[in-house]
Each structure stands twice: as structure tokens, then as C-alpha cells.
Amino acid sequence: MTATLLEITSSGKHKTLGVQGEGVSMSSMITIWLIVFVVLVIIEIITMGLTTIWFAGGALVATLAAAVHAPLWVQIVLFLVVSALLLFFTRPVAVKYFNKDRVRTNVESLIGQQAIVISEINNLQGIGQVTVNGQEWSARSTDEEAAIPVGCVVIIERVSGVKLIVTPKQ
């Protein structure tokens, strides 16, 4: 049976971690974690997807742990825990901050706009059309029982599939 161990050489300065006979020096672990950090940052710069940067933060903390001679298992646990915490708690804030100038799609840009009913909207009969920005759309009312007559101005509340969900303008 092999056991994981922490060895100190005769000089007392060089520590080795790992399975007996297969040790990894602390300076090697610092280098490995720094390489992981740099690779993750490069991937993030290339993709700009706000996905690998959180793991880069975990790798940086693991590098610091290796620098203070923490055991390998502590480095790995710190990497995983810090990465998960950064991912779950800071990613939503960062995504909102960095994607605030996101261009809405054509359909999303219709929400809140006014449209004119060109064919009576009656949810019970499953009919109704509006025109918005020169385009005709099938439409349904937010009020299931009320019909909206032709010529009425409506506000687009949301899009459901290929139908606009509208309410009469007050």
C-alpha cells in the first residue's frame, strides 16, 4: 500500500508532496498553478464569455496556497471552492455589468412598442392581427375574454412564439 506523504529533505528547505516515490516539489506546484492561471486567463481573453475567469481566480488562490507550502489536497480544495464561489456569486453581477449594452433582438425590441389592430383580436376564437413598424403580426390579448376591435392602439407586453401578446392602450 502506498501512502501520501510530506517529505522534508536533509537540508530542511525542499518539501515534496505526493505518493511515495512520485513527489511533486512545492516550486513545481507554484509553477503548475501559475500555468493553469495564465492558460485560463488567455482562454477568457479569446472567448470573452465570462466562464474561465472564475477558475483563474481559483488557480490564483491555489498558487498562493502552494507558495505557503499548503498540502496538495488543500490547494485542490481551495481551487474548487474559490472557483465555485466566484462562479455562483460574482458571475451574475459581472454578466449584468459587462452585457448592459447588449443589443436586443428584433423580437425583443418590439416589447413596449405600440401597435395598431388590423384584425379584431379575440382569444376565444383564436384570431387577431396587429401591425407594428410596417409588419403584420398575429396577436392575442392579455385579457382572455375581452375582444379588441380593429383600429385600437395596443401596447406589446411580450412575445409568445410568433404571436404578440398585447393590452389596449389606456
* 122-135 pLDDT tens trace: 998 989 999 998 88
DSSP letter assigned to residue 103: P
> What superfamily in CATH does domain 106-168 come from?
Nucleic acid-binding proteins (2.40.50.140)
Report domain extents, the chain: 4-98, 106-168
pLDDT tens digits, residue range 14-65?
Answer: 454 544 334 667 788 999 999 999 999 999 899 877 788 889 999 999 999 9
Q: Give the model's pLDDT for residue 1.
A: 35
C-alpha–C-alpha distance, residues 131 and 48, integer Å: 38
Provide the residue count of the chain.
170
Question: Whole-model pTM above 0.75?
Answer: no
Run of H or E including 130 = strand 127-132
pLDDT in tens, 105-123: 677 788 899 999 999 999 9
